Structure 1
Amino acid sequence: MIEFIDMTLAFCVALGFALGIISGLTPGLHLNNFASMLLAISPQLLLLGLTPFQMASIILAASISQTFFDAIPAIFLGAPDSETALSVLPGQRLMLEGRGIEAVRLSALGSAGSIAFALLLVYPLSWIISSYYDYLVKYVGVLLLAISLMMIKSERGPWIEGQGSLVHWKYKLIAGMLFLTSGVLGIFAFEHEDLLYSPLDLEPQVLLPLLSGIFGASSLILSLTTKVQIPKQTESKIKMPGPTIAKAVLSGGLGGSLVAWIPGVSPSVASIAARLGSPGTAEEFLVSIAGVNSANALFSLVALYVIDRPRSGAAAAIQQLLTLDQNIMAQMMIMAVIVVLASYLATIAAAQLAARSISSLNYPRLCIIVLVFLLAMTYAFTGIFGLFVFFLSTIVGLIAPVAGIHRIHAMGVLMLPLIVMYI
């Protein structure tokens, strides 16, 4: 039996699984960083004997496992990335009640269940999208504009006793201003992408300073300024009824499967758009947002195969390594299932370890270390101009938490440039 197992491929999948754990657990560190580094050293890896398929398997495994593990810093540390930004409030609400382990269990359940559901949608959605993709692209700009307006319209800000009934319009106005401000920053960065230069001769990535600043550095700086007493975390059973769990899993799976085809719509954007008018409980929201995130990671690969368009940093890296065919897709789907099972079990175990160590963790020191790492990474990949974009995006990223609105409106950094492009 052993001779039929590609041990090098198994090692690559295990390595990708480990890299996903590292990027998921490290605040501010995104899988795109690893994907960029892997592409940069791919010629050396080829000389060592690795095939493009084996390198692609590393990225696939990392992209899946990260969507499980990034719930842990989002819930226990309040330091999410762009995909898990919406999970911070409901996740931390449960953590501050001593139910952090339960919150991570809910997130892992949403991720695993939604990917299982998404696998059933691969063939029908692929057929539908491939048949009508040109029509969909024609109206992408209008669709993104409609989603943006719904996001802004849904913003109500924090509820404070004594405020007037019209105060929510103030928060809608701030949300609109944040969307436009981040959008202008995105347009500026993309139009001047040619100014990016890597001192180490790596491939410059404009999204690195943009997203690391808005969703990484800003969260870390904010965390350094807040002091919260963390209660003891205890094991607690999931109390959600079965039908409610199923509804949240199906919502996450469907949302993540659909968003992967549309440029500029992140999992967080898809979640808030799908749940407008029906926010549900914190538990239901955690299951749903995790499901959208994980199903999107899977369908980004499917979208690359069907329409030859990368819809994520991982898919873009895989596209540069090899051309997908039916046989490769089948092998990658099997790998995805294996990584999902391993990630589900490992995430729950990691949550228990995190719950025991959270009270003794020197969180300010961790934040400073990650901030220094992000600065070094930004300079290594994008040079001085990248650091300038990183500084601007960090300031923009602080607007939402200071103003008391959802950080999701800062996704205008990606959505507005696409709206301008497609309309």
Structure 2
Amino acid sequence: MLASIVLGAAVGIGCGVVSGLIPGIHANTVAGLLLSLQAILLAWFDPVVIASAMFATLVTHTFLDCVPSTFLGIPDADTSLAVLPAHTLCLEGRGEEAVRISALGSAAGVALSLPLAAAFILALPALQSAIDWGIGLVILAVAGYLIVVSESPGWALAVFAVSGILGLFSLGYAFLAWPAAGESGVLMPLLSGLFGIAVLLKASHGAMPAQDFAGLDLPRSALRRGSLLGSAAGALVGWLPGLSNATANALLTSVVGYDSNPREYILATSAANTVNAFLGLAAFYAIARTRNGVMAAIAAFEEMPPATAVLLAGAIAAVGAYLLTVLLSRAAWRFSGIDIKGLNYAVIAFVVLLSLLLCGPFGGLVLILATAVGYVPSLVNIRRVYCMGAIMVPVMAYSFGLA
């Protein structure tokens, strides 16, 4: 079985590199492709290889998705808020540092995943029904706190509410999108408009500064705090229904400011991203709930692979993904001297084209509306975190049984 695990992990690392580095392609997409080829693959490989490849792809993706968000400023569903401080550091010539901090956060998340998973499996299944309902109250409290302490509570509430309505509209009518990326594919134009194009339109011009790496400017206290907070947030969204990494990003802003502590925030959100993957696996095997497309694909197997085998494949993938992420971070110098305005316009054109290809005209409409909403915070001088209403409001509606 060990050979099957290692082979699956190797295949998953390769697939995760593709999904992590190419915006718009998610590990769920790869899992769906492997599932569609299941009949052919099972003729050559046992289920352990395929399931291990699926989970290894997800783990690898959580490490490498920081690369396009840092250097290009393109967010996906897992890097919606984290893209802001990471891309800012890149514009200051610290892009390699941002990617290395992200990789370190993901590695810390892997180390903390096992004790968190064990604690959750032992303590939470009996309380699951109460937890499912109460999560909406937790998110409502976090949103209320963020709005009250904002620079302008009135504008913060308005942006949160309007983005929330946009989120309900986008997800509620996702069936209008082309099926290329599935109904959840509308998250790509939604979050790219709110946190990608809206930011790039206001970005500075000139040439990209020289990318130099002079070590990690991250105190040990921030490393410990960010790792623990990020892992806790990732465990929360990994276990509970209806939540995502974008929700974890929003929750973390209440304790770690992405503008005041950008490096710690990058570390925390990366830890949350990876822990979410491992806790999603724990929730699947403990309470038979699928938290993402990868778990749904594994659930389709007639012969369920052992949890320990899939977990070991994920741990192997994490080691390989960490080394690859650090290696890719060293390519930061290639961005030195690039015209920022031209790069931003190229990225915007790519996002528009990708939204249309994945979601069709409906994706284009969502992208336009999201960009308009995402542009407001810079006009009224409030933080962009309030655009997370696009994710938080639908999650609250789901938790309260309203959607």
TM-score band by shorter chain is 0.7 to 0.9
The answer to whether the Cα contact below 8 Å between 1:87 and 1:286 also exists between their aligned partners in 2 is yes
Partner of 2:57: 62
1:94 is matched with which residue: 89, 93, 103? 89
1:293-312 matches, cutoff 5 A: 293-312=273-292
1:346-357 matches, cutoff 5 A: 346-357=324-335
2:262 is matched with which residue: 278, 282, 285? 282
When the two chains are superposed, the root-mean-square deviation of aligned CA atoms in Å is 3.1
Partner of 2:220: 242
Secondary structure, aligned partner of 2:239: coil
Of 46-55 and 351-360, deviating more is 46-55
2:192 is matched with which residue: 193, 210, 216? 216
Aligned residues: 393
2:389 is matched with which residue: 398, 403, 412? 412
The answer to whether the Cα contact below 8 Å between 1:215 and 1:397 also exists between their aligned partners in 2 is no
Structure 1 pair 141/247, CA: closer, same or farther in 2 (3 Å)? closer
The answer to whether the Cα contact below 8 Å between 1:102 and 1:238 also exists between their aligned partners in 2 is yes
1:109-148 matches, cutoff 5 A: 109-148=104-143
* TM-aligned CA deviation for residue 47 of structure 1: 6.7
TM-score by length of 1: 0.81
* TM-aligned CA deviation for residue 341 of structure 1: 0.9
Secondary structure, aligned partner of 1:310: coil
* TM-aligned CA deviation for residue 24 of structure 1: 2.0
CA separation in 2, counterparts of 1:151 and 1:306?
34
1:36-75 matches, cutoff 5 A: 36-39=32-35, 41-43=36-38, 45-46=40-41, 49-75=44-70
1:184 is matched with which residue: 130, 141, 165? 165
The answer to whether the Cα contact below 8 Å between 1:268 and 1:289 also exists between their aligned partners in 2 is no
* TM-aligned CA deviation for residue 331 of structure 1: 0.8
CA separation in 2, counterparts of 1:398 and 1:205?
27
The answer to whether the Cα contact below 8 Å between 1:144 and 1:265 also exists between their aligned partners in 2 is no
Letter in 1 for 2:392: M
CA separation in 1, counterparts of 2:69 and 2:87?
8
Partner of 1:163: none
Partner of 1:14: 10
* TM-aligned CA deviation for residue 273 of structure 1: 2.5
In the alignment, structure 2 segments of 5+ residues that lack a partner are none
The answer to whether the Cα contact below 8 Å between 2:12 and 2:53 also exists between their aligned partners in 1 is yes
Structure 1 pair 150/36, CA: closer, same or farther in 2 (3 Å)? farther
Partner of 1:164: none
In the alignment, structure 1 segments of 5+ residues that lack a partner are 157-167
Secondary structure, aligned partner of 1:149: helix
* TM-aligned CA deviation for residue 18 of structure 1: 2.2
* TM-aligned CA deviation for residue 37 of structure 1: 3.7
CA separation in 2, counterparts of 1:245 and 1:5?
35
Partner of 2:399: 422
Secondary structure, aligned partner of 1:86: coil
1:309-324 matches, cutoff 5 A: 309-321=289-301
